Amino acid sequence: YVRGEGCGLLVLKRLSDATRDGNSVLALIRGTAINQDGRSQGLTAPNGPAQERVIRRALAVSGLQPVDIDTIEAHGTGTKLGDPVEINGLKSAFDGVSGERRCGLGSVKTNIGHLELAAGVAGVIKVLLQMKHRTLVRSLHCEQVNPYIDLSGSPFYLVDQNTPWQALTDTDGRTLPRRAGVSSFG
């Protein structure tokens, strides 16, 4: 866990307004969800079932299925307790997605530290830059994975090297949009 300082700014508009105004559209937000973490072991200990529920809700609001997501920008503070709880919530929400469909996991906190209140916007900005450059950026300073994180049997992998973000195709050969989820706790 490393603290950082920073801020970020996003300009959000309805797609119809941005198109009408001739704005450059970097991405679409398909859905969002919020949830109260509920009972846990303390302020710094997240609640896995609550996290699973908010992820499932965000997917439902967006009209997407877990298999549609290419990468997750995790909250991932690097704590021994919090990261495994977050990963297990994701694994539960993505239950049933075969191991053939891979989904990258990363956290901007490995690159710039935990920006506290700006952590969420930093994660969104990282995803926007990855989309722009069509590259999943490796998590820095992650030489040893938390022993309490087990990704076996899940669609997830840790992005440990810069990787081209390949667009998927549907059964008719049409290119699908790149899709990411951003997890942020406040």
Q: What pLDDT, on the 0 to 100 scale, is given for residue 99?
A: 64
Q: Identify the pLDDT of residue 1.
A: 74
CB 139 within 8 A of CB 158: yes
**What per-residue confidence (pLDDT) applies to 24?**
93
**Cβ 50 vs Cβ 159: under 8 Å:** no
C-beta separation of 108 from 126 below 8 A: yes
- Give the residue from 39, 37, 115, 40 showing the smallest Cα distance to 76: 115
pLDDT value, residue 44 = 66
pLDDT of res. 48: 84
- Collapsing DSSP to helix, strand or coil, 132 comes out as helix
Low-confidence ranges of the chain (pLDDT < 50): none
Cα separation, 147 vs 140, in Å, equals 18
pLDDT of residue 96: 82
